[in-house]
Amino acid sequence: MGKAIALARTKGTDPSDTPIAAIIVLDGKLLASTVNQTEELNDATAHAEIMAMRTAGPEHGDMDLRGATLYSTLQPCGMCTMASIWVKIGRIIFGAGRDEVHRMYFEDRHLDTMDFVRDAWRDDLVIEGGCLPDECASLYYRPDDDVPEQEQGNL
């Protein structure tokens, strides 16, 4: 997670930079190391985790990433969690969870992405939060921060 935090900081140190990073490792081999690129690519799907999966598949030579670990500085959103299920990531480890950051980072008021994992047909996916949570949460707006509405992508 330390490498993911350092990578996220290359995007910027202000929460408005959306410094989210994701790393995918399989059998000790780094397959992908990416940051959120939504603004740069004008692509709402260019989340760090999605970009990492797009890189990892070709690097691995297969879209099936069974056994791989995805490290993310922020709890993956619904889109990224579902994509993880489809590419068969084996384990997701995230830093800051939805209770440690502003609600703007999640698309739904009541649905927790952990529910996607619990309800998936797959029973071989593990999701673990709280890996260096304070260091990761410091990258983002906090729950009580007054975030300008134009920066809140979920509105």
151 is catalytic: no
Contact indicator for 45, 83 with CB cutoff of 8 Å:
no
Tokens of 108: 């739904």
Helix (H, G, I), strand (E, B) or coil at 74: strand
Distance between CA 79 and CA 94 in Å, rounded?
A: 15
The pairing of beta strand 91-96 with beta strand 29-35? unpaired
Rg of the Cα atoms in the chain: 14
Cα angle 152-53-9, degrees, rounded to a multiple of 5: 50
Distance between CA 1 and CA 5 in Å, rounded?
A: 6
With 0-12 / 13-18 / 19 or more C-beta atoms within 10 angstroms meaning exposed / middle / buried, residue 40 is: exposed
Catalytic option among 39, 40, 49, 107: 49
Which residues are catalytic, by number?
A: 49
